[in-house]
Homo-oligomer: A and B are copies of this chain.
Amino acid sequence: MLKPLGMLNQALTKPVMVELKGNRAYRGILEGYDPHMNLVLKNAEEFVNNEVVRKMDVALVRGDNVIFISP
Cβ contact of A70, chosen from B12, B56, B64, B68, cutoff 8 A: B56
Contact partner of A34 among B5, B12, B56, B63, CB < 8 A? B5
A4 engages B21 (CB within 8 Å): no
| A7 interface residue per 8 A CB criterion | yes
Name the one of B3, B24, B26, B70 contacting A33, with C-beta atoms under 8 angstroms.
B3
In the complex, which residues of chain B have a beta carbon less than 8 angstroms from the beta carbon of A67?
Answer: 20, 22, 24, 61-62, 65
16 A-B contacts (beta carbon < 8 Å): A1-B12, A1-B32, A2-B31, A3-B32, A4-B34, A4-B38, A5-B34, A7-B32, A21-B65, A22-B67, A37-B62, A56-B68, A56-B70, A57-B71, A58-B71, A65-B67
